[in-house]
A and B are shown apart, each in its own frame.
Chain A
């Protein structure tokens, strides 16, 4: 509980973890573009299908219970709100494929949904078992990221000022127009577009220069956040099981900026990511070689014939001279060890026979 305790502004939504309630979905979300959280009390969120007749008999591979970590404000429902929090599929700005997002009640803010998903984990929730040990995170997202690809595309195609509701349209993801309803969206559009006001209507056109300036500020903010949270951004080989908390080697400003650029690139189209790299004056290849990697040896070009630098012939000579190997003291003592009940090392490479199970 200590870990969770440190996340005080967040709520953990799960039955018996003692903090809030359980979120359950009977059908899962797979069949529906979006799904309403229907009955919503402070402590219990019940998800039902929006289209109960279209029941899919195929059992949902995924869960019927999730453990979700969210800001309290996500599930706050003001009395006058028309709808509660809604999960929606929108176009991922980087890949262009579907990804899951969440609008809070009243759709004043959009959140991205990410899951901690590691092998060999399950939850015990109350008196039940949830086979996937996923922990869902619902974190606020700047809505501009979501509409940026649409603006870029419109600019490439039409290249003219347009009303924004005509640009943010997607047959595959009808939910995307909700992004415009978020409180921050229209107020901050000027960061990435030029505006024109004709009559009472506003017209917008994508401006890459402004956008890069805006992204540069984001990168700087990210660098600050990376420093504040002491996230390891240095090079070197990283173990997938190990996240270093302390910087092991001296980390340069460039490392921080590169890391921030990498993070931001997960939220913008690939072309823009390249533009941003140039704009931030980051070289395509890191200036210093990765830690632990030996400097690459380059053979100097010359007219002289290439000759072997080392004498390999000794390996080809007769091995008759080899004396019968004597066991070292360590090997001898190893040979004396009681090996009863121990597997021969070759047993690990033999084909497994299921019937031969561990016995007493």
Chain B
């Protein structure tokens, strides 16, 4: 798996796809979707799809793909190699969501939450398969959030497809297991060979699992805080773990849309009726106030 292009510029999402098997363009296929790296505070989240000829599902099962969580990293690598070799009837596509994109999406003015981000990545990959001419008929998805709602959303978006959304789909359907292996392998690659865009000098790369509850990860985060900039782009700023560390260890930064009520206390209604101490005559002309120009007394 070659993720070098993503790692060169890890601030953006990246899509990596296999060649589309010729048979998939003519025969009916099923498609599985799964994700890796939803929970960690570090690194990208990877969405994977795997599609396979409906007629060759038996062969897929013979590859003994199983839920990626039950496998060791080596076993996953081996299985991915097998999937990649079976390129006469299996194809795959990956969407690598940069931690930077996750941070900025979740923290922008109009919030774009992780569920919506996940759903859109899945929809994008199904659309990719359709656009490439893969004859997708059945779609199996491991759920994010309530399964019924997700299923309804996908069915509405793709009325021509038979969509099945289940929790634990990765252990129920081999095609979802295959997708989960592709996603997990990509995530492991990205984490292990991460190139920091920031000039961090001799950085300690021992950050543990990347999950917020891992003490090693927490220690690493606490040691990486820059008082002004916070963390490198590798870290998902939108995670509460990251936020809590920033709150205590970094310089406070106030944004226009902060819901910081501590600073501005709600004033009593009566205050609007009080006589202003500063008469309107002392106010600068609106030319200045409209332009936020003020006189200075001190520098």
Contact = CB atoms under 8 A, between A and B. Distances in A.
Contact of A352 (B114, B256, B259, B289): B259
Contacts of B295: 92, 99-100, 112-115
B293 A263 contact: no
A62 B290 CA distance: 23
Nearest to B293: A114
B113 A341 contact: yes
Interface string A256-282: 000100110110001000000000000
A103 interface: no
Contact of B288 (A29, A95, A119, A266): A266
Contacts of A118: 292
Interface residues of B, number: 39
A231 B286 CA distance: 12
Contact of A117 (B153, B239, B240, B294): B294
Interface in B147-185: 149, 153
A66 B146 CA distance: 54
Given A117-B292, A360-B114, A262 B286 contact: yes
Contacts of A120: 254-256
Contacts of A98: 297
Contact of B294 (A28, A87, A115, A341): A115
B52 to A, nearest CB: 30
Contacts of A238: 286, 290
B285 A340 contact: no
Contact of A100 (B239, B256, B293, B299): B299
B243 A358 contact: yes
A119 B298 contact: no
Interface in B190-231: 228
B287 A115 contact: no
Interface string A3-26: 000000000000000000000010
* Most B-side CB within 10 Å, residue of A28, A35, A100: A100
Interface string B221-259: 000000010000000001110011000000000111001
B261 A352 contact: yes
Interface of B: 38-39, 106, 113-115, 145-146, 149, 153, 228, 238-240, 243-244, 254-256, 259, 261, 281-282, 284-299
